[in-house]
Amino acid sequence: MQEYNSKKLGFINSIALLGITIGTLVLALKSGSNVGVAALVLLGVGTLISFFSFVHAHLIDRERQEALEMEALDQTQEKDSLFSGAAEDAYPALNARKQFEKWIVPGFTLLLLVAQVIGIWLVSGKINQWTSPDPTQALIPILFNSLFVVILFLMGKYSAGLARMDGQELLRPGASYMLLGSVLGTAIVLSETASFFGYPHWDKWITWLVVAIIITSALENVVTLVLEIYRPKGDKKKARLIYDSRLIGLLGQPGGLISTAAHALDYQFGFKVSETWFYRYLEQKLALILGVQFVVLFFSSSFVVIQANEKALLERFGKNIGISPPGFLLKWPWPIDKVYRYKTDEIQSFTLGVIDKKEGEQQQEGTKVILWTTQHNHGGADQDPEQNFNMIVASNSADAQSDAESVPVNLLTVSIPMQYRIKDLNKWITQNANSGSLLQKLAMREVTQYLIGVDMDELMGPGRTEAQMTLQNRLQKQADEHDLGAEIVFVGLQDIHPPVGKNEKSKETGGVAESYEKVIVAELNAETNRLVALMYDASKVPQAEAFAAESISKAKSESTNKVAIAQAEAKRFGNQISAFKSAPSVYKTRMKLESFKQATKGSRKYILSDPANRDVINLELQDQLRQDLLNVTVDKEN
């Protein structure tokens, strides 16, 4: 009778899960709850498992009844009875159960895996196109889901307790999903309540949490199927319920985690740690400890420290209380009071056009210089260079009049950084829904209007500084008119250039930047040639005059020198004639000796005073190696 009652309870659990799943679907569609849609995947899987375990229990019950009948026949009949020692074919219920566990159970588990994957795909797509739930339709789902939580918890707790008895383990899969359903119902109630009070993003966060549970459950199914292939099997071994998720059981019954931890500690230390007074006390007071921690965490939100460069907006139940200066702030706990911090003393910035680098990322040292004509992009490695942001600027009127085919406008690729500071936080928050976005849109409008009326050559040349000041004044005026409470600190025009050619063919024929570069290069070359001609003209005439003066001076010097030398030679010749006439022999001898002296200059000479003397004279004709050393005079000692 007990087995019959447990089988009946399994069928009732299945019907209850089916009804609650349908109810959750209707309520989720009515309120637009994404958490409800994600919970439907787990509730639907739990409903299928509950019905499947009921069928499995029915087969096992048939096998048990068949075994009892065969045992009764063997006892009442003689040994040569018709069914005595019968083959397995005489046990249809036994064979049906074996074939069911061999083929149907793995196939059903694989079907569950497919259902989980489809559910993950559908819920992920809904999250990517997330829409906040309707708060006006939240009251009815809150009431009914709260009722579902109570029903699932009571029925699941009773079935989980009954499943611990011998022979009732088939109640465990359905009971685990019922307890998990109570947890999911609580999550739905929490999400709907948050949406009702104006916090729709809770729905998205809780939905992601439910999706994570589904993904983990699917991975567990994959691992279970793989291990089931290699698990040794035998006729007498009891088949394992591979569709019974232990993860779901743990999430539905977190108390089992404490029991598992107790067994692990007992095994690790070698004695009954779970029976000590400290462990028993900890197990009894665990809920109280967690509650105290939650209360401390709740009240810790009452203490706020506002940094020196910040100011904070304080809200109480969504109502603006005031602006808090830097320092320590004591408030009511969250979510009664909320604090929104703003860096009012910090220079903030945004970029119009394309962004050179990510926000907050510092530019690396030694960045390679990129020319206008080099194919590049400003937005990042994943952006197409052809998608750079281009804006319209005016064309030179003289050029437009001189060429009938020229257009009155040009294009510029711009990346204009702008910096601002929040000077009035109250206006910044209360006067506009999104002041930062509005400031960017106003800046884009002012830049567009200004560039349409300014000449490109003037903007990229001498008029850049004036353009920066004009744009800054215009944007500050717009910010004041819209009560943004912002001060425009800087407007940069340092990163604007003509568009680059889109492909290699346009580079050959001449893209915008390439053509602009050619014009600039031609102008620079023309100016260079003009300056070279002026330099040549200015240098040649002085050089020729200096060369003429130098030639005349050199000719005069040579003329004077030759005349003086000729006069000196003539005068010397007259003096020689007078000396020869006075003493011819002396003059001749003197001239011979001077000639000999000039001819033997640098040679060693020896004069013999008496040629008739027969004495032997030894002459040292060898040159001294170091005359400076051999001819040293040594002073006598004192």
Residue whose token pair is 């952006």: 383
**Tell me: the pLDDT tens digits for 317-374?**
777 777 878 878 888 887 778 888 888 888 888 887 655 544 444 444 444 555 555 5
- The predicted model gives 465-478 an average pLDDT of 85
What pLDDT sits at residue 403?
45
Average pLDDT of the chain, as a whole number: 77
Q: Strand 390-394 relative to strand 486-491: parallel, antiparallel, unpaired?
A: unpaired
- The predicted model gives 423-434 an average pLDDT of 80
184: Cα separation from own chain's centroid: 34
Tokens of 247: 């993860």
Q: Which residues pair with residue 415 across a beta bridge?
A: 353
Tokens of 406: 């020229």
Residues 307/276, Cβ–Cβ less than 8 Å: no
* CATH superfamily of this structure's domain 348-358+371-500: Band 7 domain (3.30.479.30)
- Return d(Cα 17, Cα 169) in angstroms, integer: 18
Q: Which has more confidence, 72 or 12? A: 12
- Return d(Cα 490, Cα 249) in angstroms, integer: 61
What pLDDT sits at residue 399?
47
**Tell me: the pLDDT tens digits for 109-132?**
899 999 999 999 988 888 888 888
Measuring CA to CA, how many Å separate 201 from each of 190, 245, 301, 305, 402?
A: 12, 30, 20, 26, 61
Domain boundaries, the chain: 2-253, 303-342, 348-358+371-500
- Return d(Cα 27, Cα 143) in angstroms, integer: 10
The yes-or-no verdict on residue 15 having pLDDT over 90 is yes
In one letter, which amino acid is 328?
F
What pLDDT sits at residue 637?
54
**Helix locations, 494-630, DSSP H:** 504-509, 512-582, 584-599, 627-630
The yes-or-no verdict on residue 82 having pLDDT over 80 is no
